[in-house]
A = this chain, B = another copy of it.
Amino acid sequence: MKEKTLSELVYERYSLYYRCVNKMYHKENREITDSNELSRNLKIDSSLIRRDLSLIGKMGKRGMGYSLLSLKSGIEEILGKDKTWNLVIVGLGNLGNAILRYLAHSSSNYNIIKVYEKDPRKINTKVEGHVINDMEHFDTGIRYDIGIIAVPSTEAQGVANILVNHGIKAILNFAPVKLKLPESIFYREVDIFKELDILSGMLTFEMNNH
């Protein structure tokens, strides 16, 4: 039963395929697509799309294309979209607040279970129907799947340690620091200043070379 593990790049594309397929199926009420149409929409080479989709199983029909319905359920299965995932958000500054509101307003298979904060002025208030809990009293009785870290950089590692000690399996980190985590934790980070630096680096290069 040991399948070969897929790279993060592949999962990233599945997420894009899923959105696109859903739109075609639900919003446009269509039945069929093909790798070229997906390629045009997502700007991903069509043979890469075929390769990705073939990893799920023989999804397509030669000469015909792909059934949107079976694509949808195939990708749902591989991304775990047929399950509900428990989220915990730590940190309710600007970014944490935005993330909480953004997630709360979107329907998805991600469920915000608990929200934690350190600032006593915020504790026990409510945001979008979620009580803000005291980080000092971390609730151990709950299975959290994914922890979202939105605290200042200086506190991010401490929060990560607490999450790891309470059995978190994956972390999405918005603080601009590299966290030290056990190998077994799945990890992604979102870093706005890093993104701006990449863009300004490329702009700088272009300016220097006309």
Instruction: For residue A126, give the distance in angstroms from its CB to the closest CB of chain B.
Output: 16
Contact residue among B94, B186, B193 (Cβ-Cβ distance under 8 Å from A108): B193
Q: Which positions in A face B, CB cutoff 8 Å?
A: 1-3, 5-6, 8, 11-12, 14-16, 18-19, 41-43, 77-81, 83, 85, 87, 94-95, 97-99, 101-103, 105-106, 108-110, 145-146, 169-170, 172, 176, 178, 186, 188, 190, 192-209
Q: CB-CB < 8 A to A176: which residues of B?
A: 19
Residue of chain B at shortest CB distance from A77:
B204
B198 touches A11 (CB 8 A): yes
A188 touches B199 (CB 8 A): yes
**Bound CA–CA A106/B93 (angstroms):** 13
**Bound CA–CA A201/B119 (angstroms):** 33
Instruction: For residue A12, give the distance in angstroms from its CB to the closest CB of chain B.
Output: 6
Residue of chain B at shortest CB distance from A173:
B195
Instruction: For residue A167, give the distance in angstroms from its CB to the closest CB of chain B.
Output: 13
Q: CB-CB < 8 A to A193: which residues of B?
A: 15, 106, 108, 110
B204 touches A79 (CB 8 A): yes
Q: CB-CB < 8 A to A94: which residues of B?
A: 97-98, 101-102, 105
A201 touches B14 (CB 8 A): yes
B209 touches A16 (CB 8 A): no
B1 touches A196 (CB 8 A): no
A201 touches B169 (CB 8 A): no
Q: CB-CB < 8 A to A204: which residues of B?
A: 77-80, 83
Q: CB-CB < 8 A to A190: which residues of B?
A: 190, 192, 195
A195 touches B188 (CB 8 A): yes
Q: CB-CB < 8 A to A196: which residues of B?
A: 85, 87, 108, 110, 146, 172
